[in-house]
Chains A and B, each alone.
Chain A
Amino acid sequence: MTGGGGTTPELLRDHGFLAGVSRGTRALLSEGARIVGFDQGALLLREGEDAGTVFLITGGRVAIEIHAPSRGPIVIDTVEPGHVVGLSWMAAPFRWQFDARALEPVEAVAIDTQRLRDDLAAHPEAAAELYQRFSAVLLARLQATRIRLLDLYANAGH
């Protein structure tokens, strides 16, 4: 499949999340991948639904948000091109915990996560490569969350 920015294998080859990943692992990913696009404001995924897809963002910015009664959507994080949206597929109950919304026109490579879990179970080397990268994403987000909890820019005098 071809998107505005190249074919699926090309987009996977150039994606920052997969930098350094072996050709075999990329080929495995490519089999269950497709290029998708979202208009500004569209939801990539919705809280509570099955975590059936992971998105490797190739263009546009995505907001991770949660809807609060009387407040509307609250943006928790933003994800830039070269990064990943959707990590809840990695562990049961495989359900999205937040919404993800396109803040601008977004292009991504969407990967079927049921197939991905099956493929990784059958290919330990690919599993090691990819789970290491997903773990790095989880770690980076945990660390960023901890820093933000410090409220560094608050006025200490107030």
Chain B
Amino acid sequence: MPATDLAVGSPTLRSPLTPVPYRIVKRRVELDDVVTMSVVPVAGEAGEPFHFAHGQFNMLTSFGVGEVAISISSAPAGEGPIEHTVRDVGAVTRALCAAPVGSVIGVRGPFGHHWGIDSIDDAADVVVVGGGIGLAPLRGAIRDLAGRRHRRSGRLFVLAGMRTPAQILFPDDLEAWRTAGIHVGVAVDVGAPGWDGSVGVVTVLLPQAPFEPAGAVALLCGPEIMMRFVARQLVDQGVEPSRIRVSLERNMQCGVGLCGHCQLGPLLLCRDGPVVPYGGVADQLFMERNR
């Protein structure tokens, strides 16, 4: 899983601390407070092609406002635009969400360890669990795994926990995956008129997902408390803890393991994360109180 080919010093990085100008070529409002922006390098600024892997993140700059870490929500696809799904939670993300098509933002990255889906055995079932905006860093991996379903004997299960039916992220993607024959489950914390799906914590979806726990790999992203409960239940259902991968988030700033703002226990998450194994790593970090 370590992204040795994508680590600091990669030839894809001109300078890890210098933002590269990217232009917003498409902007899609996903929810009231969530926007997906597609960006391409400003002409003449691209340098080397932008190579990344699912689960990695970029530092996005809203010039004059600030910089923030945002996961890449598209799948690696050669020369096409890359997508970031941004939730308006503060000054920088608010500026990014409001940025119109044609405006220029800064991009530096990609940073961090990825989901490592290329290392997953073709026969292994894959259980993907995303909570709220946590579905965004999983979206590219799900798309890639969905595209491989005809050559993989292992099945794909996509489970999502959302706040309300109106706040379900990527409903079109979820429906497309379901239509493609992928097991898709959504649970909302609070129901609403017309919603006939599951109401409850996302863990209620796990017993209904008929995955084979032996050899199964799980990818989790969402609020940390959610991931703790999901991971424990997966283990209770027979999934090997070392096969569960979680995406952890802290205050990413430099992106290259220099500043220390994202330290979590022995890890600098911008460099050693965001994706880390649950068994032996995240399970212990989850239980630390002084962090």
Contacts and interface: CB of A to CB of B under 8 A. Distances in A.
Interface of A: 16, 61, 63, 65, 72-78, 80-82, 103-104, 144, 147-148, 150-158
A78 B189 contact: no
Interface stretch (B3-11, B147-155, B222-230): B222-230
B89 A80 contact: no
Contacts of B191: 63, 65, 74-76
B93 A157 contact: yes
A148 B200 contact: yes
B225 A147 contact: yes
Interface of B: 33, 87-90, 93, 131-133, 161-163, 167, 187, 189-193, 195-201, 203-204, 207-208, 222-223, 225-226, 229
Contacts of A144: 200-201, 203-204
Contacts of A157: 87-90, 93
B189 A148 contact: yes
B171 to A, nearest CB: 15
Contacts, number: 78
Contacts of A75: 191-192, 195, 199
A150 B204 CA distance: 17
Contacts of B195: 75
Given A75-B199, A153-B189, 10 more contacts: A63-B196, A77-B200, A78-B187, A80-B208, A144-B200, A147-B225, A152-B189, A152-B222, A157-B89, A157-B93
A82 to B, nearest CB: 7
Q: Top 7 nearest A-B pairs by Cβ distance? A: A157-B89, A75-B191, A153-B132, A152-B223, A153-B163, A144-B201, A78-B199
A104 B189 CA distance: 20
Contacts of A104: 196
A78 B199 CA distance: 5
A61 B198 contact: yes
B32 to A, nearest CB: 9
Contacts of B203: 144
A147 B226 CA distance: 8
Contact of B223 (A65, A77, A78, A153): A153
27 contacts: A61-B198, A63-B199, A72-B193, A76-B191, A78-B187, A78-B197, A78-B198, A78-B204, A80-B198, A103-B196, A144-B200, A144-B204, A147-B201, A147-B225, A147-B226, A147-B229, A148-B189, A148-B190, A152-B223, A152-B225, A152-B226, A153-B161, A154-B163, A155-B87, A157-B89, A157-B93, A158-B33
Nearest to A82: B207
Contact of B200 (A65, A78, A81): A78
Nearest to B33: A155
B237 to A, nearest CB: 12
B208 A148 contact: no
Contacts of A82: 207
Contacts of A154: 163
Contacts of B89: 155-158
Contacts of B197: 78
Nearest to B192: A75
A103 B195 CA distance: 10
Nearest to A158: B33
Contacts of B201: 144, 147-148
A38 B278 CA distance: 42
A75 B192 CA distance: 7
A81 B208 CA distance: 8
B271 to A, nearest CB: 25
B15 to A, nearest CB: 30
Contacts of A152: 131-132, 189, 222-223, 225-226
Residue among A16, A73, A144, A152 with the highest chain B CB neighbour number at 10 A:
A152
Contacts of B93: 157
Nearest to B88: A157
A153 B33 CA distance: 12
A147 B161 CA distance: 12
Contact of A76 (B162, B163, B199, B204): B199
